[in-house]
Chain A
Amino acid sequence: MLRLIIRRILMAVPILIGVSIIVFLLMSVVPGDPEAGLVPDDATPAERQAIRHQLGLDQPLPIRYFHWAVSALHGDLGYSTLRRREVSDLLQQAWGNTFVLAAVSAIFGIALGLLLGYLAGTRRGKVVDRVVSIFSLGGLSIPSFFLAILLLGVLSGQLRLFPSGGATFDEGWGVAIQSLVLPVLSGAMITMAITARVTRAAIVDVFSADFVETLRAKGLTEFGVRMHVLRNAISPVLTTSGVQIGALLGGSVLVETIFRWPGMGLLLYTAISTRDLEVVQGTTLVIALTFVVINLVVDLVQAAIDPRVRGAVS
Chain B
Amino acid sequence: MALPFDRRIDRRALLAGGLATAAVAGVGLTACGPTNSGSQSDASATGGTLSIAMSAANIPFPSTPPNQGYEGYRFVGNNIYDALTRLNLDQDKTLPVPHPSLAEKWDVSEDLKTWTFTLRKGVTFHDGTAFNADAVIFQLDRLKNEKFKYFSETDAANGATQVRYIDKYEAVDDSTVKITCTQPYAWLHWDLLHVYMPSPAVIKKVGNDKYNAHATGTGPFKMTKYVDGETMELTRYDKWWPGPVKLDKIVLYPQPEAASRLSMLQSGQVNWAEVPTPDSIDQLKADGDQIFMHKYPHGIMPRFNLFRKPFKGNTKLRQALNYALDRDGCAALINNVGYGAKQYVYEGHPDYAPNNPGYSYDVAKAKQLLSESGYQPGELTITMGYTTGGSGNMFPDVMMQKLQADFKAIGVATKLVPMEWTVLISIGLDGLNSDKWKNLDILWASPAAGMTPTGYNSTFMSKRPGGQANATGLDDPVIDKNLTLAPQQKEEKDQHAYLQKMMDQAVSQAYFLFWMHDLNLRVMSADVKNFVEPQSWWVDFSKITVSGS
Residues of A that sit less than 8 Å from B by CB: 31-33, 35-48, 50-51, 54, 81-85, 90, 93-94, 149, 152-153, 156-158, 160, 162-168, 170, 174-175, 178-179, 257-260, 262, 266-267, 270, 273-275
| Contact pick for A36, options B57, B61, B259, B425, CB 8 Å | B425
Residue of B nearest to A159 (CB): B267
Residue of A nearest to B257 (CB): A258
- Give complex CA distance A81, B256 in Å: 22
Contact of A31 with B419 at beta-carbon distance under 8 Å, contacts A164-B264, A166-B253 already known = yes
Residues of B within 8 A of A267 (CB): 229
- Give complex CA distance A214, B267 in Å: 59
CB distance from B43 to the nearest CB of A (A): 29
Pick 29 A–B contacts, CB within 8 A, sort by A: A32-B422, A33-B430, A35-B157, A36-B423, A38-B154, A38-B158, A44-B465, A44-B466, A45-B468, A47-B160, A47-B466, A51-B153, A81-B154, A90-B228, A93-B228, A94-B229, A149-B259, A153-B259, A153-B263, A156-B266, A160-B266, A164-B260, A164-B264, A166-B230, A178-B5, A257-B257, A257-B260, A260-B260, A262-B229
Residue of A nearest to B436 (CB): A31
Residues of A within 8 A of B419 (CB): 31-32
Convert B223-253 into 0s and 1s, putting 1 for each residue whose CB lies closer than 8 angstroms to a CB of A.
0000111110000000000000000000001
| Contact pick for A160, options B63, B268, B436, B464, CB 8 Å | B268
- A175–B466 touching, CB < 8 Å: no
CB distance from B65 to the nearest CB of A (A): 9
- Give complex CA distance A178, B4 in Å: 9
- A257–B256 touching, CB < 8 Å: yes
Residues of A within 8 A of B63 (CB): 84
Contact of A164 with B269 at beta-carbon distance under 8 Å, contacts A46-B467, A84-B209, A273-B57 already known = yes
Residues of B within 8 A of A40 (CB): 157-161
- Give complex CA distance A156, B265 in Å: 10
CB distance from A90 to the nearest CB of B (A): 8
- A37–B268 touching, CB < 8 Å: no
Residues of A within 8 A of B263 (CB): 152-153, 156-157, 164
- A37–B4 touching, CB < 8 Å: no
User: Does B37 sit at the interface, judged by CB under 8 A?
Assistant: no
CB distance from A8 to the nearest CB of B (A): 33
Residues of A within 8 A of B420 (CB): 32, 273
| Contact pick for B231, options A37, A157, A166, CB 8 Å | A166
Residues of A within 8 A of B467 (CB): 44-46
Residue of B nearest to A51 (CB): B157
- Give complex CA distance A208, B324 in Å: 70
Residues of B that sit less than 8 Å from A by CB: 3-6, 57-58, 61, 63, 67, 153-154, 157-161, 209, 212, 227-231, 253-257, 259-260, 262-264, 266-269, 419-423, 425-426, 428-430, 436, 457-458, 464-469
B61, B212, B429, B436: which has the most chain A beta carbons within 10 Å? Answer: B429
CB distance from A186 to the nearest CB of B (A): 12
Task: Give 8 A-B pairs besides A39-B157, A40-B159 with Cβ atoms closer than 8 angstroms.
Answer: A42-B457, A82-B67, A157-B266, A162-B267, A164-B267, A270-B57, A270-B229, A273-B422
Contact of A45 with B469 at beta-carbon distance under 8 Å, contacts A32-B426, A37-B422, A84-B61 already known = yes
| Contact pick for B428, options A41, A149, A164, A270, CB 8 Å | A41
A54, A84, A168, A174: which has the most chain B beta carbons within 10 Å? Answer: A84
Residues of A within 8 A of B256 (CB): 257
Residues of A within 8 A of B3 (CB): 160
- B58–A270 touching, CB < 8 Å: yes
CB distance from B168 to the nearest CB of A (A): 19
Q: What 3 pairs between A and B have smallest CB-CB spacing?
A: A44-B466, A42-B458, A157-B266
| Contact pick for A84, options B154, B466, B469, CB 8 Å | B154
CB distance from B150 to the nearest CB of A (A): 15
- A85–B268 touching, CB < 8 Å: no
Residues of B within 8 A of A85 (CB): 228
Contact of A262 with B230 at beta-carbon distance under 8 Å, contacts A32-B422, A43-B429 already known = yes
CB distance from B129 to the nearest CB of A (A): 23
CB distance from A162 to the nearest CB of B (A): 8
Residues of B within 8 A of A157 (CB): 262-263, 266-267
Residue of A nearest to B65 (CB): A40
Residue of A nearest to B153 (CB): A54
- A260–B254 touching, CB < 8 Å: yes
Residue of B nearest to A40 (CB): B161
- Give complex CA distance A47, B468 in Å: 9
CB distance from B21 to the nearest CB of A (A): 24
Residue of A nearest to B225 (CB): A170
CB distance from B209 to the nearest CB of A (A): 7
- Give complex CA distance A270, B389 in Å: 13
Residues of B within 8 A of A273 (CB): 57, 420-422
Contact of A259 with B260 at beta-carbon distance under 8 Å, contacts A31-B419, A178-B5 already known = yes
| Contact pick for B269, options A38, A51, A163, A262, CB 8 Å | A163
- A93–B229 touching, CB < 8 Å: yes
- Give complex CA distance A167, B523 in Å: 24
Residues of A within 8 A of B57 (CB): 270, 273
- Give complex CA distance A38, B421 in Å: 13
- B422–A36 touching, CB < 8 Å: yes
Residues of B within 8 A of A170 (CB): 227
Residues of B within 8 A of A163 (CB): 5, 267, 269
- Give complex CA distance A185, B255 in Å: 20
- Give complex CA distance A166, B254 in Å: 10
CB distance from B423 to the nearest CB of A (A): 4
- B4–A174 touching, CB < 8 Å: yes
CB distance from A228 to the nearest CB of B (A): 47
B61, B158, B209, B430: which has the most chain A beta carbons within 10 Å? Answer: B158
Contact of A42 with B426 at beta-carbon distance under 8 Å, contacts A31-B419, A84-B212, A156-B266 already known = no
- Give complex CA distance A83, B420 in Å: 19
- B267–A36 touching, CB < 8 Å: no
Residues of A within 8 A of B428 (CB): 41
CB distance from B68 to the nearest CB of A (A): 9
- B209–A32 touching, CB < 8 Å: no
CB distance from A93 to the nearest CB of B (A): 7
Residues of A within 8 A of B262 (CB): 153, 157
CB distance from A152 to the nearest CB of B (A): 5
CB distance from B458 to the nearest CB of A (A): 3
- A42–B229 touching, CB < 8 Å: no
| Contact pick for A44, options B253, B425, B468, CB 8 Å | B468
Contact of A39 with B466 at beta-carbon distance under 8 Å, contacts A31-B423, A158-B266 already known = no
- Give complex CA distance A35, B467 in Å: 17
- Give complex CA distance A19, B458 in Å: 40
CB distance from A250 to the nearest CB of B (A): 17
Contact of A42 with B254 at beta-carbon distance under 8 Å, contacts A54-B153, A156-B267 already known = no
Contact of A41 with B429 at beta-carbon distance under 8 Å, contacts A47-B466, A85-B228, A152-B260 already known = yes
CB distance from B465 to the nearest CB of A (A): 7
- Give complex CA distance A94, B230 in Å: 11
- A43–B468 touching, CB < 8 Å: yes
Residues of B within 8 A of A156 (CB): 263, 266-267
CB distance from B456 to the nearest CB of A (A): 11
- B212–A179 touching, CB < 8 Å: no
Residue of B nearest to A178 (CB): B5
- Give complex CA distance A259, B264 in Å: 10
Residue of B nearest to A254 (CB): B257
CB distance from A269 to the nearest CB of B (A): 8
Residues of A within 8 A of B230 (CB): 166-167, 260, 262
- A41–B267 touching, CB < 8 Å: no
A35, A50, A163: which has the most chain B beta carbons within 10 Å? Answer: A163
Residue of B nearest to A259 (CB): B260
- A42–B468 touching, CB < 8 Å: yes
Residues of B within 8 A of A257 (CB): 256-257, 260
